[in-house]
Amino acid sequence: MVKIIDKEFVPFITAEAIDSRLQEMGEMISKDFKDDNPIILGVLNGAFMFLSDLAKYIKIPAEISFIKVSSYQGISSTGEVKDLIGLDAKLQGRKVIVVEDIIDTGLSMTHLLKKLKINQPSQISVVTLLFKPEALKHQLKIDYIGFEIPNKFVVGYGLDYDGFGRNLPAIYQLK
């Protein structure tokens, strides 16, 4: 068990299980994009650890860039997405792979996809480590999912509770 601020979390997905799933996802992405030079776009802050580990299993030439949005406060969504760092890569005519740590209500990804499409990429694919199907409120096509999980708040491996817990090497669920 780990305590972060005032809440207790129990082990949920081990570092070993994450690593072996990332290897599979990296192989799938490398195969699907073998003739392309995609731009991999990580969504900060949460995706920093997932993207850095996943990227090592992607064996094709790819650019890596980041964008930053935020919508969560404590353990729930504010219902509003804030753009905190914008896009520096040129997406026009390029294949873009958006990498998220989690898709919960789908609000952040829906907001992001709308923004990215303005830049006229030739294709956008969505990768997420975690997906909560029961929480989804915005219809989305997700191309690669690491783990489908129940609708419970999780931390670790990039995911935070009020800024803390991101450096845990495994994923924990609210007790």
Ligand X SMILES: O=P(O)(O)OC[C@H]1O[C@H](OP(=O)(O)OP(=O)(O)O)[C@H](O)[C@@H]1O
Beta bridge partners of 13: 171
Which residue, 20 or 151, has its beta carbon nearer to ligand X?
151
Q: Which amino acid is at 159?
A: L
Q: Is 53 a catalytic residue?
A: no
From the list 32, 35, 88, 104, the catalytic residue is: 104
- Strands ordered across the beta sheet of 76-85: 76-85, 63-73, 39-44, 95-103, 123-131, 144-148
Q: How far is the CB of 18 from ligand GUN (least distance, A)?
A: 15
Q: Would you state the structure tokens that stand for residue 136, as one six-digit string?
A: 């989804």
Q: Does 155 bind ligand X (CB under 6 A)?
A: no
Any alpha helices (H) in 70-164, and if so which ranges?
A: 107-117
Percent helix / strand / coil, the chain, rounded to 5: 25, 40, 35
The interface with ligand X within residues 3-62 (CB under 6 A) comprises 43, 45-46
Q: Does 129 bind ligand GUN (CB under 6 A)?
A: no
149 makes contact, choosing from ligand X, ligand GUN, none, with CB < 5 to 8 Å by partner type, with none
> With the C-alpha atoms ordered 3, 6, 9, 14, is the resulting torsion angle positive or negative?
negative
Window of 21-29, 55-63, 67-75, 87-95 that interacts with ligand X by CB under 6 A: 67-75
- Whether 138 and 130 have beta carbons less than 8 Å apart is answered as no
Q: Does 162 bind ligand X (CB under 6 A)?
A: no
Q: 101, 103, 105: which is closest to 157 by C-alpha?
A: 101
The interface with ligand GUN within residues 44-73 (CB under 6 A) comprises 72
Per CB under 6 A, the list member of 154, 157, 168, 171 interacting with ligand GUN is: 154
173 makes contact, choosing from ligand GUN, ligand X, none, with CB < 5 to 8 Å by partner type, with none
Binding site for ligand GUN (CB under 6 A): 72, 102, 104, 153-155, 159-161
- Active-site residues, by number, are 104
